[in-house]
Structure 1
Amino acid sequence: MEASNQTGVSEFFLLGLTEDPEVQPFLQDIFLFIYLITILGNLLIILAVSYDSHLHTPMYFFLSNLSFTDICLSTTTVPKMLVNIETQRNSITYIGCLTQVCAVIVFGGFENFLLGVMAYDRYVAICHPLRYTVIMNPHLLGLLIAFSLFISIMNALVHSLMLLPLSFCTDPEIPHFFCELAQVLKLTCSNTFINNMVLYFMTSIFSGITLSGIIFSYLQIVSCILKMPCRTGKYRVFSTCGSHLSIVFLFYGTGFGVYISSAFTHSSWKTAVASVMYTVVPQMMNPFIYSLRNRDMVGALRKIIGSIPS
C-alpha cells in the first residue's frame, strides 16, 4: 500500500545550511571531502578486521559493525545534500523524506546500542578476563547485534508510521540539510502531541538505558583497575578503553549539544549546524580515533596497504 498524506503534498524542500549561492560550492567541497574520508576510513576498518586474523575478537567485531553503521548513516544524509547543491534543486519527495527519517533513526539508534554493547565488552574483558571467551561467545555476539538492530528498526517504524496520518502545509520547507523527525513534525498542521511524546519518551528510554549501562560498565572497570598493584598495568588496561571513551564522548556530547541548541535557540540555522556535529563529524572521526590509538589496528592497516601493488 502506497504511503500518502492527507494534504497531497508530494515533496518537501530542504533549505540546507545556507541559501547563499557563493557559499554553497564551498560547502559542497567540504562535505564531499568529509563523506569520502568517512567512507574510506570506515571501509579500511572493516577490511582490516576481516583481513587480520588477530583482530577476530569481539571488540573488533563490534568495531566493524560500528564502521558499517557510520557508512550507512552518512550515506543517508550527505549524498542527498550534495546532489541538491549541485542541481540547485532542494526538493525531496514525500516518500524520500519518510525513508530518510526512518533510516536516520535506524542507524542512529543502532550506533547508540553498539556503543553500549562495546562498553559491556570492555567490562567483561577487564573485570572477568578468565571468563571472557566463555561469556563473549559467538552466539551472544550475534544475539546482541540482532537485538540492537531489531529494536532500532522497530523504533524507526513506530515514528515513521505515526507520520503517515499527519497533514502537512502546502509549502513545506525544512530548515535543514536532511529530513530530521523533529523538523518534519514542526511542518504538520495536525496535532503532534502524541508524536512528540513518543519521540521524547523513546529517545530518553533508549539513550538513558544505554548511557546508564556505559557509566555502570566504566565504574566497574575503574574499580577493577584501582585494585591492580602495578601502575604500568593500570595504564595499559585503561588505555584499551580510550578509543571507545573518545567515541562515546563525541557521539553523546554532540547529540546533547543538538538537544540543548534546539531547546534554547530559535535559530533553525544553528540547529542545522549543530546536527552536523552528530550526523557527520563522529562518523568521520571514529576511524581516526581507533586507528591512531590502537597498535593492532595500525599494524593491520599497514599490512593491507603493503599488500597493494605499487
Structure 2
Amino acid sequence: MNHLKTFVLLAALTALFMGIGYMIGGATGMLIALVFAAGMNLFSYWNADRIVLRMYRAEPVDETHPNAVVRTYVADVVQMAQDAGLPRPTIAIIRNHQPNAFATGRNPANAAVCATTGLLDRLTRDEIRGVMAHELAHVKNRDTLTMTVTATVAGAIAALANFALFFGGGDDRERPGGLIGTLALMILAPMAAGLVQMAISRTREYEADRVGAEIAGDPASLASALQKIEGLAKQIVNTTAERNPASGQLFIINPLAGRGADNLFSTHPATANRVRALMDLGAKMGLAPGRANLADIPPSTSVPSTPSHQPGPWG
C-alpha cells in the first residue's frame, strides 16, 4: 500500500511539474520538464535522504559520544529498533534549539533518524523515547521514501514556480497564459504541491503515532512530547526549515513558526487530535498515564528517567 501511495504521489507531482513546464515554455517546455522530472525522481530516490541530512547538517552519533544524554538517546533508539525488528538506523543529532525530530531514507536498511539538540535538552527520557519510536514507526511503515522524495520534488516545484517569471523572455506568444498565467502559476503551483503532500500526510502521522506508541510501550509520554514540541516550535524558529518549507512534513511536529502563510496547508494533523488518539490507545493497552515500560531496557543502557537538560556540550 505504501508503495502504491509513493507511485501515485510521484505521478501527481510529476504531472504538476510538467504543467509548470508547459506554462513556461509550451510543448517544448513540457517535454523538457518531463525529462527533468524523470531524472529528478530517480535522483531523489537514491539521494534525497542525503540531501536532507546535509541540509540540516545532521551529525551521526553513537555510544561513544561525550554527552551522556546523547549516549542514552542512541542506546534507546538501538534497543527500540531491535524490538521493532528493524536494522540499526543511522542515528544523528541536529544542532537546533527547536525540539523536533524526523526520519529519512528510502528503506529500513538505509534509514536515518535525527533529533535536534533542543529535543534532547528539553524533553524527558520517556518523551524522547516516544518521539524516536514514532520516527522508527515511519521507517517500519516505509513512509520515509514518500516523505523524503515528496519534500524534494515539492521544493523543486516551488523553486521552479518562483523562477517562472524569468523564463520565456518577453515573448508571451510561446508562453501559454502570458504574464498573467505565469503570475498565477507562481502562486498556485506551490499551493497545489502542498495539497498533494497533504493527501497522505495525516493518515501517515496518525499511524506512526499508533505504531510508535506500541514500540515504546508508552502512548502518554509521546502525547506529552507532542504537546511540548508544538508549544516550543511556535516560539523557537528553525531557520533551515523556514528556508526550505517543503521539508517541514518530515518532522514529527510542523517546524515552521506559523509566520505568514507557513501553516496555510499544514501537513500535520491537529496535535490535540493526536493526543486524544494516543490517550485512547493507552487506555486500551491498560497503561497508567505517563509511565514508560523501562523494565525491558538492559541495565547497561539504564539511566535516570529524567536526564539533565543543560544545553551541550555537543562537541
Q: What TM-score does the superposition give when structure 1 sets the normalisation length?
A: 0.31
**Structure (1/2) with the larger helix percentage:** 1
Q: What TM-score does the superposition give when structure 2 sets the normalisation length?
A: 0.31
